[in-house]
């Protein structure tokens, strides 16, 4: 049985403040827990519904429908900021939606992009919604927060930025290396980060002469862009 204090401690990990203080985060679901156990990270505790009961699992779960298993995992040491100048690096500029960030980490894993960097105001990757959306990719993709403009100013490879007025990605010459910046859906790429962009690209709409949505969801755009880079 879990005590009230133990339930409170686990529930507190839904908040960044307590995750940072304790250097712990939560993963839920058979697949994610299996990924955590295989990752080499310290798994502090594994809790199963058939052992603690449905009520207790409901109280500690951060999902709308509790999963059969939950694990508390110790965070790794913060990764050193690294840009893969020989390959591709994804940079996130002020992305706040956890589902989008988690999905982009999953995309990076799928397309073999092992390094991601993000502005310091991008959502915390240990947010439970981010962790869930990665589907285990969080344990394989190197992710670091940084002063994004300062880091980008020092790289010696193409820096691609996604803009509505950019050149058509399907007609562009794309390199096998470089940084791909994804900006927030509400504000796009910030002015400071934009000064580091050396190539502006866009995904054009194909509904010529018809009314279309203003832009794509940032995770969908990331999928199209990564696919096009890899296709070349």
pLDDT 10s digits, 73-117: 999 998 789 898 889 999 999 999 999 999 999 999 999 999 999
52 and 128 housed in the same domain:
no
Phi/psi-derived region of residue 137, left when phi > 0, alpha when psi is between -120 and 50, beta in every other case: alpha
Residues 32 and 92 placed together within one structural domain of the fold = no
Q: Which of 20, 39, 74 is the last residue of a domain?
A: 74
The pLDDT, as a whole number, for residue 146 is 96
Q: If you average pLDDT over residues 43-68, what whole number do you get?
A: 95
Half-sphere exposure of 7 (CA within 13 A, CB side): 13
In terms of residue numbers, what domain contains 47? 4-74
Find all residues with CB under 8 Å of 28, minimum gap 6, and list them: 61, 62, 63, 66, 67, 69, 70, 71, 128, 132
Beta bridge partners of 118: 92, 145
Do 67 and 112 share a domain, yes or no?
no
Note the pTM of the prediction, 2 decimals.
0.94
Model confidence over 9-46: pLDDT tens digits? 999 999 999 999 999 999 999 999 999 999 999 999 99
What percent of the chain stands above pLDDT 70? 98
Q: What is the CATH number of the domain that holds 145?
A: 3.40.1280.10
Same domain, yes or no: 101 and 138: yes
Q: Residue 79 falls within a domain, yes or no? A: no
Question: Does one domain contain both 94 and 197?
Answer: yes
Encoded tokens for 207? 């509904």
pLDDT value of residue 35: 97
Pick from 16, 46, 74: which residue ends a domain?
A: 74
Total domains in the fold of the chain: 2
């Amino acid at each position: 049985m879990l005590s009230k204090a133990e339930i409170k401690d686990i529930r507190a990990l839904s908040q960044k403040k307590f995750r940072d203080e304790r250097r712990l985060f939560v993963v839920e679901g058979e697949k994610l827990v299996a990924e955590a156990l295989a990752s080499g990270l310290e798994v502090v505790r594994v809790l199963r519904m058939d052992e603690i009961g449905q009520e207790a699992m409901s109280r500690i779960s951060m999902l709308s429908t509790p999963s059969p298993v939950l694990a508390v995992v110790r965070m790794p040491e913060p990764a050193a900021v690294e840009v893969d100048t020989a390959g591709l690096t994804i940079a996130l500029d002020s992305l706040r939606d956890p589902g989008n960030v988690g999905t982009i980490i999953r995309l990076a894993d799928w397309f073999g992009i092992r390094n991601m960097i993000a502005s310091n105001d991008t959502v915390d990757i240990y947010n439970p919604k981010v962790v869930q959306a990665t589907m285990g990719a969080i344990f394989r993709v190197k992710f670091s927060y940084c002063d994004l403009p300062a880091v980008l100013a020092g790289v010696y490879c193409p820096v691609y930025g996604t803009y509505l007025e950019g050149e058509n990605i399907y007609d562009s010459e794309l390199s096998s290396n470089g940084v791909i910046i994804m900006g927030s859906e509400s504000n796009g790429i910030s002015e400071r980060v934009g000064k580091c962009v050396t190539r502006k690209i866009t995904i054009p709409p194909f509904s010529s002469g018809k009314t279309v949505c203003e832009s794509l969801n940032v995770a969908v755009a990331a999928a199209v862009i990564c696919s096009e880079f890899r296709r070349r």
